Each structure stands twice: as structure tokens, then as C-alpha cells.
Structure 1
């Protein structure tokens, strides 16, 4: 099965590193960057690339990285490069400019995900693409409901966005439908992590939307509609079926959680 309009999606996998800072997980694993830290016996970037590549909605894969050599040395990734399926794009000083670098010359629509989204499966990427296509949105963000995240693992996430229709967690996967909608990436210029730093919402979305967010006024769809008017194109939240989509490898706690979920998944398959 392909996407509803038979258009293959370009995947951007963000695999950069903070300038001058060695991630604690990378230091413990004795590697140069977090994205090659083994999780469940496999470098996390290799796992994400494999699951993206196995999704039939995805065409070209672009890995945005500051140090691509270490990633390119992974045999399965080298094979995709040789086949012409995967290319590397240079990471920039910050996340937003890295997205712009990755998207330069790409075919739209674009799906953006991160190299530490180790729990996403090909069917999850297909679900996200199908829902984004069906929404006809210029830009979209994947969210998971709190109950589903906690069902995947009670320690999966500590904080959630609160709306009148429930509490949700960001899944670090985004949809950019056109070159015009790429401006939505500016939302992340302050660094994202709006639950930890809600003042960043005022910078990205405006003060009124900050008040709505903090007080939990309205549904997630209503807040995204307000943001859509600010940016001039349709932006929508896409609720994922599986709560594990909101669990990425961010620190020791989530590393342990991810390995635990992968182990349960392997046990179920066996």
C-alpha cells in the first residue's frame, strides 16, 4: 500500500549533536555521538533508519548529521547509501537550521523524525503519513495520549501537555506538506521542550496561546487552529494509536525504558 495520493514521502532523520558537548549516553558507550549508542543491541540510528526504510510510504531518506562518517560506517546504512535510497545532509548550529539544511532540494511532503525514536515501527510511520495526508494539513505534529504512554511503560514520560480533551505527549515526529509550511520549523528555534519551558510558547505561538496552553483552555485541535491562523496555513495534531511513540531515548531513564519495551516486544515475538 502507498500513500493515499501515491506520493512517496521524504524522511528527514535528525541525527545531530550539540556543539562542543558529548552526550552522557555517548560517553558511557564510548562513541562520538548519541545517535550511534546501542539500544537493545543495535545503534539507535540504525534501528530508526531500518524502520523508516521498511515503511512503503517513504521514498528518499535524508539523515541530517554533524558527523556522518560514524553513521555511514554502519553496514545496513552504507547499503542504503549505495542503493541511492539514503543521503546525508549537514547539520547546522541549531535544530531549525538543521531542518532547513535537510529539506533543501527535497521533494515534498516531508516527514521529520529523530534518531532516538527507537520504538517507532514501520506501521507507526505509515499511520502517521496516512493521517497527515488525510488531514490535508500544511504541517502536523504527532501526539500520544497520556493513558497510552503510561500503558506502554509507566516511566515512559514524566510530563504532558494538558488540553480540555486530555493530556498528551509530543512524539518528536512532524509533517511538512510544502515549502511554504517549512516555516513551521521556526517553532523549534527556541529549543522546543514546551512542557519544561512554557515561556517558549509565547515566543513561538504568541502570548494568548501561552495562556490557553497553561490553563488548558480548549482542545488540542482548537489550539492548533489558533496557531494555524498565526502562521497562515493549516496545522493539526495527529494522535497516534500507540503510546510508545512518545518514548524516545533522551537520558538514562528513557534509555532503560526503551530497552525494557524492546525486550518485551522481542519476547512477545518469540
Structure 2
């Protein structure tokens, strides 16, 4: 286990490409691009970048998407690109493919991967995740948030959660790729991406029959699930349990957009 006092600075990779056409969240903005859709008056991507820049644990920031004409048409983004504060790559066909493109572009490790629709992300969440990722002995760390933590703050919000002993847990759109071997997980992610809204299929593909049965019986723990995924992928995968409800909230729907706007207004 590494000493947290020697915590390295992470490169950051922000996935900001549009996932599909006719996205209702993208339609809310003038650009027609989801990442540049405003929430409480500020585009989501601007918020995520400001959070990453405010973290003293984050160094170089690279975007994968949106397409360059959209970025150049946004004065804030154009200024960041012109000064070299961030760099940008063209998006691939899916988030997992974009992540793989970004990880192959950034040669140094460790790398934090997050998404442009993580509009409630705050520097303390980033720092908490990176601190615990650095102190692990894993190749990859993923952020998860207990569903009960999310519902305590957002009782009416519905989120996809994986039922594990001690959970359920919600994905939280932060991944730490700690070593060169970690790239294997991005390729694995690409294979299961289409099933991300069906936790049972994801578990079945990742864990195999025996572990899937334990999952369905509610007796598979988070640590056991990570061990089985590690064995399947061939890299050491671990999880950071986040104590922040907002960590599990991304803007995937109009109801998410309304929730995030309301939360930001209350925070202001």
C-alpha cells in the first residue's frame, strides 16, 4: 500500500462525446451537444472542468469529445484550448471506445476518467476518490456509492443499482487507471457497455455462473465481486465507496437535469 502523503498528481480524461442522436438533454442546449447543455446557467462540461482544475491532485486534462467545431464555438472552451489549459481528442463511437482512445493517447499513469455530465462533482469528491485509489494496490479503481446514501439526499431519485451484500451500490462515473495493465479494463468495458442498464447481464458477463448465482441470492459482497472481475479481466480491480450522494448523480435524463438544477440552486 502506498503512502498517501506521496500521492501523485493524476492526469484526467473527460468523456464528453454525445452517446446517441435525439438525446433530450442535448436538445435543451443551443448547441445540441449534451456536454454543453447548461445546468443552472452553466454548461455541464464547464462545471466538470472547473472542478478538476480546483483539485490539487489533478494535472493535465484531456477531453474526448465533443467534436472540435462545437468546442471552438464555445468561447470558454476555445480559450482553454488556445492557452493549452486542456487538450481535446475527437470522440469515438461509445464512451468505452472513447476511454480507450484517451488512455492510449495519455502515456503516463495514473489517470482519472470521468464524464462531462457529472455536473454535481466537487473537488472534495475527486480528492477523496484519488486518495483512496492511490493507497490501493490495484490496477484500476472504480467509484461506487451506496444506494441508501443517494436516497438519503435524493429520496425521489431513481438510479440503476447493483444488488450486493452491504449494498446496493450505484456507479459513480469515476475510474482510476493506475498502471499500464489497467487498459485491459477499458477493452472489457467496451464489451459489456451495451448492457450497462441491465445489472444482471453485466454481473453475468463479468463474474461467471457461480458468482452470478451468489449475486442473485444477495450474498456476494462488493469485495468478492471485485475479485471475480479481476480474475475475469486479468487486472486487479478495486472499489472506492463514496460517502457523497452527489457522486452517483449524472445527467442521463430530463428528470436528472431537473434534479441537478434544483440541487445547484439550493447549493448556491
Matched, 1:17 2:26: no
Scaled by the length of structure 1, the TM-score of the pair is 0.90
Q: Does 2:38 match 1:38? A: yes
Residue in 1 aligned with 2:224?
222
Relative distance call for 1:156 and 1:136 in structure 2 (3 A) is: farther
- What does 1:117-266 align with in structure 2 at a 5 Å threshold? 117-189=118-190, 190-191=192-193, 194-266=196-268
In 1, Cα distance between the equivalents of 2:96 and 2:167?
29
Going from structure 1 to structure 2, the CA distance change for 1:66 and 1:139 (only over 3 Å counts) comes to same
Asked whether the 8 Å contact 1:148–1:244 carries over to 2, the reply is: no
After TM superposition, give the deviation of residue 195 of structure 1 in Å.
Answer: 5.0
Cα deviation for residue 253 of structure 1 reads 0.9
Question: Pairwise mapping of residues 70-149 of structure 1 onto structure 2 (< 5 A)?
Answer: 70-106=70-106, 107-149=108-150
Shift of 1:140: 1.2
Query: Quick one: structure 1 residues 175 and 202, their matched pair in 2 at CA, closer, same or farther if it must change by over 3 Å?
Result: same
Q: 1:67 to 1:118 in 2, by over 3 A?
A: same
Corresponding residue number in structure 1 for 2:68: 68
CA distance in 2, matches of 1:229, 1:46: 38
Asked whether the 8 Å contact 1:161–1:167 carries over to 2, the reply is yes
Secondary structure at the residue paired with 1:104? Answer: helix
Q: Provide, for residues 179-202 of structure 1, a one-character-per-residue CA deviation record: whole Å limited to 9, x for no partner.
A: 211111133223265453522333
TM-score calculated relative to the size of structure 2: 0.90
| Structure 1: stretches of 5+ with no match in the other structure | none
When the two chains are superposed, the root-mean-square deviation of aligned CA atoms in Å is: 1.9
Relative distance call for 1:112 and 1:192 in structure 2 (3 A) is: farther
Note closer, same or farther for the CA distance 1:101–1:247 as it changes in structure 2 (3 Å cut).
same
How far apart, in 2, do the equivalents of 1:139 and 1:254 lie? Answer: 28
CA contact (8 A) 1:66 1:92 kept: no
1:6 CA displacement: 4.3
Cα separation, partners in 2 of 1:218 and 1:32, compared to 1, 3 Å: same
Once the two structures are TM-superposed, the CA of residue 32 in structure 1 deviates from its matched residue by 2.4
Unaligned runs of 5+ in 2: none
Q: How many residues in Structure 1 have an aligned counterpart in Structure 2?
A: 263
